[in-house]
Structure 1
Amino acid sequence: MIVQRIVGHVNSNHVTKLMALARVAVLKDTLEINVTKNGSCVLGCKPGYDYRNSTNCIVECDPGYYDDCTKECGPCTQQPCNKTDGSCTGCCAEGYTGDKCDLTCLKGYYGKNCSEACSQNCKSEYCDPQNGTCVLGCNPGYDYSNSTNCSIECEPGFYDDCTTECGQCEVQPCNKTDGYCTGGCAKGYTGDKCDQDCLNGYYGKNCSEACSQNCKNETCDPQNGTCVLGCNPGYDYSNSTNCSIECEPGFYDDCTTECGQCEVQPCNKTDGYCTSGCAKGYTGDKCDQDCLNGYYGKNCSEACSQNCKNETCDPQNGTCVLGCNPGYDYSNSTNCSIECEPGFYDDCTTECGQCEVQPCNKTDGYCTSGCAKGYTGDKCDQDCLNGYYGKNCSEACSQNCKNETCDPQNGTCVLGCNPGYDYSNSTNCSIECEPGFYDDCTTECGQCEAQPCNKTDGYCTGGCAKGYTGDKCDQDCLNGYYGNNCSKECSQNCKNETCDPQNGTCVLGCNPGYDYSNSTNCSIAKHVHRIVRTNLVTPRMGLACLDVILDMIIKTAQTAQLNANPDFTIIVQRGVGNVKCNHVTKLMAIARVAVQKDTLEIHVTKNANLDFTMTVQRSVGNVKCNHVTKLMAIARVAVQKDTLEINVTKPLLTVTEIKKLLTPVQLLEV
C-alpha cells in the first residue's frame, strides 16, 4: 500500500499487508486513506464493534462487553455498559465504584458506589464491600456469631471473640476485650485473667496462703485449704480436713488402721511399729502377723504339739484349734497329750468295730486280729452281706432260708423258711414239712384224692376228693354240685337244688311231687294228685278266652310248682266286654285255684324271686298282658268234662307242647 497526503506534499511511502477492508476518514487536514481489496478493515474496528466476528466491522459487541468487544463491563446496576468506552450510565453495583464501575471499594467502605463505612468493630475495619460483613471477624469484645457486622457485644462472662470464658474474677464479669479481672481473682486463682490455679502448696485469694504441712504432698484445695489427697500418716482427715489433728491412741497412718498386737500400746502413729515388742501369738515389726503354722507364744518362739492336727495350735496358748491327730483325746487334753482309751479310735469318740480281739488300732480303727462272727471289713464295722454269716462272713446262709437271709453270726433263718421247710424243728431250715402239711409246715393240705399235697404251695397234683374243688382242694362244692372236683350237678328235684357234695343225696329232701323215701336223689315222682277242680265253661265264656286262661294257668302252675321261691298273685277277672289282668308279687302260701261265678282267681306262692311273661287275649275286644318266666318243669293238663285238672311233672316241656296234649280243649272248640 502506498499512502500519500493529498493536501500538501507527502514524500513518504507506507507499505503493508492488509487482511481486511479498511476505511479511514480524515477530516480537515487529516489524512483519509481508503484501502480496498476484499473489504476488510485492515486497522481493525472502531470501539464497540467486533472484529473477531466481522472483519468489515459491521457486528457490534455482545451485551456486557465494550471497546474491542473483549473487555467485560463493570458491575453496573443498569446493564449493559456503554459499548464504546465501558462507562456505566447508572450507578455501580454494591462494592464497586469508578466511571466504569470496575474499581472495588477502598478498605473501610462498602455498598453502592462504596458510600457506606464499615463498622468500627470489624477487625482492621475491613468488611465485605457489598454487604458490610466483617470478613476478618470482630474486634475483641464483639460477637460475630450473633452479628456479622459486629454490632453486638459479648455476653457477660465471655471476652475476646465471645467464645472464651472469663477467668475466676472476684467480681464478674471480666473485661470483654482482654478478659482482665479488674477487681482481682477469686480464691484459688491467680494471673491477670484469673485463669491460673494456685501453685501446689498454696490456696486462698491470689493464692497467698500456704497449705498445711500435714497435707499429703502438701497439696490442698486452692480455695479453702482442704487437704484433697488426705493427711500425712499420723493425722486424722475425718476430724480435720486441714490435717491439724493427730490419730487417736491405737490407730496409725490415716487413723483408720488399728495398731497391731503390741505388748505395750500404743504403736507409733506414723508407721504403726511396736517399739516395745509384740504380745503372745503375734510377730512382725507392727505385730500384725499371726504366728506361722506350728508356732505360738511371745514372738511365736514355741512349737505346737506334734499331736495337733496339721500341727496347728492357738498362736497365744498352744491349744490344738483343729483338734488332735487320730488316736489322741482333745476332750481331756486341748494340747493333745493324752491317747484314746481302749475300744475307741480316731478322735476317741468313735468306737472300735467288732474285732475278734479288742482293742482296735487307736489311729485308724483296724482290727489286726480279724473280725468277730457276723462282721467284715478292715475295721470290722460292716455287717455280713445278705446270704452270708460267720467269721469274716465266709459261710453262706441255707438256700431254704426265706430270701436266703440268716443271722450273720449263727446262720439262723431270721425271716423263717422258704415254703416246705419246718422252722420250728430246724432254725436253719434243713427239715422239710411232714406229710399232710405245706408252706410253713403249720398249714394242713386240702382234701386231695391222693395225699400228700405239694409241700411248697399245697396244690393237689392228683386232683381233689369227692365234694371238694380248687387248686388246693380246700373249697367245698358250690350249692347244686357234688362229686370229684364238684363236676356233677345236684338233681333239679332236690329241694333248693341242694345235695350232699360227695354223693349227691338231696340233704333237704325232694321238691313236691318226688319221693325221697324211694330215691335219695329225688329221681322218682310221687303219684299224681288233683290240685283243683272247678267249672270253667259258662254261657258267657268263649273258647278264645278259655284258651288264654288255660295258657295262664299252665304257666302259673309250672312256676308255682317248680321255680325256686316265686312269690306272686295273679288275678284274672272276666266282665261283660272287659278282661283285666292284675299282678301282685311276694305271697307266702301254696297254690290255690278258686272259681267264683265268672271270675277266675289264682294264688301262687313260693319263696324266691320270679321273672315271667303272661299273655291274655280275648277274641272280643283287646286286652293284652305279658308275663315272662323261666320254667323248671313240665305241666300236663287234662280236662275231664267241666273240670280242669293241672298236673306238674318233669322233664321240661314248652307250653306249646303241653297244649298239644289237651284233647279236651279240642272237644271244647267243637
Structure 2
Amino acid sequence: MKMISKLQTHIILIMIQTCMMTVTAQINLALHGRAEQDTTYKDGAGISYNANLAIEGPANNNWNDGCSSTAGNQSSTWWGLLLPKLAYITSVQMYLRNDVPTRMNDFRLYLSNGTVYSETTELCYRDIKKQAYLNLNRSIDCDNSPSTNVYFFNRYTFIQLCYIEIYGCWKGFWGEKCAKPCPPKCIDQHCYPTNGTCIWGCDPKNCMSNTCYSTTGVCFGGCVLGRAGQYCNKYNLAYNQTAKIIPVGQTNARLSVDGLISTCNSFSFTGTSSYLQVAFESLSVITTVHFVFGDKTTDDDGHTVYCSNTTDTWNDGTLLYRGKRLETDINVFVVCIYLIYVPPMLNGDSLVELCEIEIGGCPLGRYGINCKNVCHCNGPYDLITGNCTFGCLDGWIGYRCDIACSSGMFGNQCREHCSANCLNPPCNHVSGKCNEGCNRGWEKYNCTKECDIGHFGSNCSQTCLGCISNMCDKVTGRCTYISACKPGFLNGEYCNQECDDWYFGINCAKKCNCRTTPCNKFDGTCSVEECERGWHGASCDEECTNGYFGFSCKIFCETCFNHSCDIMQGNCRAGCIDGYRGRTCTMMSGISNVLVHIQYMLQLFF
C-alpha cells in the first residue's frame, strides 16, 4: 500500500490523538463491515466473546456489557474489520476493557488490502510505550491510504475491544457524512475524504504539479503516481510492484518503482550479473518503457532492457532496447511478466543513477486509461480503445471482443448452436457446456451423447440392468423387451425391482435355503457355507435324498429301519433296526448307548 506521503509531501502521514473527540465529517464504516478475529475466548460458563461484540456497543469499557476477545497467550492474535469495498480511513475510536486494561499494551493498528500478514499491510499506530492502560477511550487518526481491512494486532496477550468506531469514506466520496462525490477529474475517483481534493491527480493533466513543457507536452517534474511515460499518458505497470536489484544490498530497489523521481538508486559498480528486475502480478502487455536517470548517469552504450517470463534471467526473453541512456520513451509491444534492466559496465568514476522506471501498459486482457476495462482478444489489441487486431477468443464478438454470444450460441465467433438437450438453456457461451446438466437420456458436458446401453435418465445416472440385454428407453428406463426380465428381477415394464432375499431366478420364482446368508439373486448360488437343514445343492433348493438329513444333508440315518428318516432332524419314520431305540434310533443299552448318542449329536451340529 502506498503511503500518502508519496503523493503529497506536505500531508502529515499519521497523527495520534489520545483524547476522545467527536467525528462528524465521515461515516462509521464499522457498521458496514464484517468483524472477524483469529480466535475467540470462551469463559467457564461457556459464553463466547465473538468479534462482532466490538461493533455492537454499548460505547463503554464494561466487560459485562459485551466485549470481543481473542483467546490469550497466542504467539500472534488479531481482530479485524473487513469492508466490502475500498475506503479511506481517517479515524478509529476505541473503548478498552477497564478491569484488566494492561492486556492491550503494545497493540498495533494496521490498514490493509489483504490479511494482517500481507506485505502491503500499513502500520497506522503502535502503542510502543505500552501505555494503552492509561487511556482506555481514545481516537487514533490514520493517514488517508485506501484500505479494505482494519486490524488490531498483538502478541502473547489478548485483543479485547468493548466498542469500536471506524470513521472514513468509501473511495469516490467525501465531506459531511460522505455525501459528496469526488470531482469527476480525479483519477479513478480517489479524493481526500476531508476536503475532496484529488489524490492521484487529474486526467488529462497527469503531470506532477500540473506542469508540462508547453512546446513538447512532456511533463515537468515527472508524473503523478500511477502514470508512466514522458507524457504521463500511460498506466504505470511498475508502480509499487515488486522490484529487486542484484547484487542484493547495494541499493534499495523499491525506490525505482515508488513513483517519485526524487528518490534514486545508485550503481557505483556493475558486473556481468548486475541487473534490476520488476515483477508484475500477472502477464501484462507493455507498450512503453521510460527511464528517469540522475544527471550523473553515464551516457555510455550498454543500457539494456529485456522482457521475460522467467524470473532472474533474460536468456529466453525479448530484447527491447540496447544503447545509450534515453530521456524519451522506448516504444514496444510485448507480453511478459518480468522486465529486466541491465546497466552498462562501469569504468573509473562513472555510475548509473536510476531514479524511476516507468512501464506503460495494462495487465493482459485489460484496456483503458487505468486498465479497468476488459476485452477478450485473440492476440494483440489497442490498449486505449480495446479494439482487437486478430479477432476474439471463443464466446466473444465485437470490435473489443467484450460482447458475449447471444443466448443459444457459443464458440468461435459465436457460430455454434447450444445443444437442444441442455436441461436449462442456454449453454455456456464460451465452451458450449450445459450449465445445469442434460435432459434425460443425454450426457457429457455439452449433452450431445446419448446414454450408453444399460443407462438412462438425468445425465445417464440411472441403470436398467434388469432388462433383457440391458436394453431400455434412454429417457424413461422402460425395458425394450417387456415380456420378461433378467433372472433376479420381478417381471415388469422397468425390471427395476430385485428379488427379495432368499428368492432368485426368472421372476424370482425359486427359493434358496442357504444356512445364514441369502443366495445370489441371479442364479441362486449360495456362498461357501452350508445349506439349511433338509436341503442341499448349489442353490440349497433340493431336498435331502432318502436316508440323509440335517445341514446340507450330510448325516446318514443308518440305524433307522430302511434308512427312512425325517430330513430335518433325522427322526426315524419306520422304527429302528435291531439293538437301537429312540426317535432317531441312536439309543443303545450301557456305555455303547452313550457313545452312539454323542456321535449322533456331533453329526447333528457339526
TM-score over 0.5 for the pair: no
Please report the TM-score for the alignment, with normalisation by the length of structure 1: 0.30
Structure of higher CA gyration radius: 1
TM-score w.r.t. length of structure 2? 0.33
Q: Which structure has more strand as a fraction of its residues? A: 2
